[in-house]
């Protein structure tokens, strides 16, 4: 069944777990994610990122995701990832998306607030949830759903881009968003070096905003890091690059080991590998062993 981001994340809040948000730029990826969620009986977020519109347009992929969500045996939110304008937000809502992200994090603080407020006003009228970003996500430059104008960081610290907890509090209060994408050490794309997560900052953000925190650049972390961020308030984990890479590696293996090649077989092989990878992530995100210490 299709549900809003707000609903799916408030349940996660109660249960102290996170819901995976997986970009689905192709039919194989969408089917892999839905099948994985149904087999595990976990809620899931199907995302389509604006940077992937040139792979499959919003007009083609959007209705497929909405249809998958409606038919699914688990709660599914359909989400626009890194939306850049009210125009695209409106298009997604028209198609039936239950959640949108407006990313105005590259703008000045005042312009970010103004842009997000406008989207919240529009989306909430349609009972659609809104995620916005404060602080800047950076990118390793390899894969991922990086956004326009995003900084590529491969060396040194990017602490200057991290979300300030006090500013986050003000931002959430002014905009009335449903979830906040915060920057505290993850990057988009494949990790070149081990991520160094600022958990003190994350704890402080979560304590101040009274909203679910969204972690972008969420694939490629260790199991310990996932559990740590979930216990510190992360309720939505954007997971893509490592699943897409798993699909590609499986196709390469298949090509290396088979003589008669047909394209449709690649899609089957890729789907199976993506499904296996996202299933593992979904199981970790459930945070099942959270009571072990007590």
Q: How far is the CB of 222 from Zn ion (least distance, A)?
A: 20
- Whether 256 is catalytic: no
Residue nearest to Zn ion (CB): 216
216 lies in the site for Zn ion, by CB under 5 A? yes
Contact of 141 with 190, CB cutoff 8 Å: no
Single out the catalytic residue among 81, 103, 225, 277. 81
CB-nearer residue toward Zn ion: 35 or 145: 145
CB-nearer residue toward Zn ion: 80 or 270: 80
The structure tokens listed for 232 are 């510190």
CB-nearer residue toward Zn ion: 34 or 51: 51
Binding mask 164-203 for Zn ion (x = CB under 5 A): ----------------------------------------
52 lies in the site for Zn ion, by CB under 5 A? no
Place of tokens 């916005």: 132
Q: How far is the CB of 82 from Zn ion (least distance, A)?
A: 6
CB-nearer residue toward Zn ion: 33 or 250: 33
48 lies in the site for Zn ion, by CB under 5 A? no
Binding site for Zn ion (CB under 5 A): 216
Active site residues: 81
């Amino acid at each position: 069944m299709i549900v809003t981001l707000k609903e799916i994340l408030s349940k996660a809040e109660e249960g102290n777990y996170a819901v995976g948000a997986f970009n689905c730029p192709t039919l194989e990826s969408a089917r892999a994610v839905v099948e994985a969620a149904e087999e595990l009986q976990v809620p899931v977020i199907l995302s389509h990122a604006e940077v992937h519109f040139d792979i499959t347009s919003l007009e083609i992929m959007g209705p497929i995701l909405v249809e998958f969500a409606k038919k699914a045996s688990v709660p599914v939110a359909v989400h626009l990832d890194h939306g850049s304008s009210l125009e695209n937000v409106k298009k997604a809502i028209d198609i039936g998306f239950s959640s949108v992200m407006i990313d105005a994090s590259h703008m000045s603080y005042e312009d970010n607030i103004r842009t997000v407020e406008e989207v919240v006003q529009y989306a909430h009228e349609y009972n659609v949830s809104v995620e916005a970003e404060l602080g800047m996500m950076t990118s390793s430059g390899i894969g991922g759903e990086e956004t326009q104008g995003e900084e590529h960081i491969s060396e040194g610290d990017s602490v200057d881009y991290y979300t300030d907890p006090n500013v986050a509090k003000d931002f959430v209060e002014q905009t009335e968003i449903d979830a906040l994408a915060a920057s505290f050490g993850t990057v988009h794309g494949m990790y070149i070096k081990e991520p160094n997560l600022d958990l003190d900052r994350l704890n402080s953000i979560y304590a101040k905003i009274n909203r679910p925190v969204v972690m972008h650049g969420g694939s490629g972390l260790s199991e310990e890091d996932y559990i740590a961020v979930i216990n510190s308030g992360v309720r939505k984990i954007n997971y893509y690059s490592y699943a897409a890479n798993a699909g590609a590696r499986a196709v390469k293996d298949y090509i290396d080991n088979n003589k008669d090649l047909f394209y449709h077989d690649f899609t089957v092989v890729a789907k199976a590998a993506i499904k296996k990878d996202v299933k593992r992530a979904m199981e970790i995100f459930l945070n099942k062993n959270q009571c072990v210490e007590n």
